[in-house]
Structure 1
């Protein structure tokens, strides 16, 4: 599918790198960019019973004053960040919108916006934010079924990759990743469907594992070849990463697996995988 609506999530204390990457990708394909900035949680409106002792009351009052000062300072930073982002995006000549979101409801806010977006981009700053990153992955990838593009530090991000490696295992998640990435795959110069330790069966993958998905992609105009690789005792992700290096891939497309209980482990796994492997954009769908 063509990507016409892209979501980028950031915080006021993040650099503008993620937004810059997302803006560049939107300019490349003529997409609208929605930027969601996480705002500090609001001050509690519930004030507990005031202490009767004068010293305790003064201490409570001073604590409340510090909270208000901190909140005001954070809101000032947030407003400056919003102005800077709008200035940055205005210079890019792309369609965009910028919104605030209460940090206490990140998952739901991301889900609501991802439902009406084609793609969520997780850039280096968000990838390194172990508190916000998993919430964004959960709200977009898991709660909506929409794809996520992870762009690690040092990666050359593009939505027009020349060479793409597809990690294939005949599972539903891999099929959805291929379907969501069809526009990327059909426009690539080369698509390599890669299967680690393929099993020959009379159903599913067939007598030639990968031939079925290769035929499907060919019907959509993709230039496809199939690589069947032995794991030699290595994790499949390690084999895929090395093959991506060997074939000069610009992007890896694969299914994201994990139940609700495994979501945070998935985010941590993606971070560790990217840190240890070549800096390639990773297109995930579920």
Structure 2
């Protein structure tokens, strides 16, 4: 699908670099940028309890910083020739994942910029709200890489499961516009129910019908994790982005990720589009 509305969730302290990435990405696709600035209340402790004077003072400082950041973001985006809106939210007790999820319902893509990527708490909230609550894809941009939504070479991580198929459909426009797509499988098992007699052949035919130039790469793990294999292969084929399915489930209010999903969220070194 095309990405016409991009939701960028930005922390107060990471607003500058994440905003720059978000604005550049939105400009690439002539999309609307919806910036959500997130602030967090101080966590109460025995010494720093809720409604104690010190806690209230810190809360007021946080709210002031959030307001100042939101104003700065509006000023910065007003200088860019892109469609945009800016909102802010302050998380008092519960997380902001549900608020992010509600806003994500009206977006095509959720951006996790380099600052948010390095903030484990904020990243968890974005992934929970985006992937698990709203079902929208997320675009991870680790520090030190140059993201694009017009990639020339794409690595599509494939395991013949519904999540991988959903990721491929979400990224179909990207795949169709790319020069090459590497359908990459790690230690695939040829079974009738999972991947047929020739792993990767079914998805390659499906993508080829959309005019996509596909190469099927079957790789051994050789003692490495799936994430390590995928990332090294992405480097080997000079991929601009990895597209992959996300695995996990909700257990009450705790979200549990699958192994490859969790490690990619922690260890990604190049942009990853993740869908569930």
CA contact (8 A) 2:41 2:62 kept: no
Q: Does 1:222 align with 2:212?
A: yes
Measure the CA separation in 2 of the matches of 1:249 and 1:130: 26
Q: How does 1:172-211 map to 2 (within 5 A)?
A: 172-211=162-201
CA RMSD of aligned residues (A): 2.2
Q: 1:103 aligns with which of 75, 78, 91?
A: 91
Counterpart residue number, 1:50: none
Measure the CA separation in 1 of the matches of 2:225 and 2:55: 49
Counterpart residue number, 2:263: 269
What TM-score results when the alignment is normalised by the length of structure 1?
0.85
Q: Which runs of 5 or more residues in structure 1 are unaligned? A: 43-59
Say which structure is richer in strand: 2
What TM-score results when the alignment is normalised by the length of structure 2?
0.88
Q: Does 1:240 align with 2:234?
A: no
Q: 2:155 aligns with which of 165, 169, 182?
A: 165
Q: 1:84 aligns with which of 65, 72, 89?
A: 72
Aligned residue for 1:165, secondary structure, equals: strand
Measure the CA separation in 2 of the matches of 1:256 and 1:147: 9
* 1:149-195 deviations in Å (ceiling 9; x for gaps): 10000111000000000110001110111011111111101100011
Aligned length: 263
Measure the CA separation in 2 of the matches of 1:39 and 1:248: 37
Looking at CA atoms only, which structure, 1 or 2, has the larger radius of gyration?
A: 1
How far is the alpha carbon of 1:269 from its aligned partner?
2.5
CA contact (8 A) 1:254 1:284 kept: yes
How far is the alpha carbon of 1:12 from its aligned partner?
1.9
Say which structure is richer in helix: 1
CA contact (8 A) 1:134 1:264 kept: no
4+ residue segments displaced more than 6 Å: none
Q: Which runs of 5 or more residues in structure 2 are unaligned? A: 43-48
Aligned residue for 1:244, secondary structure, equals: helix
CA contact (8 A) 1:39 1:103 kept: yes
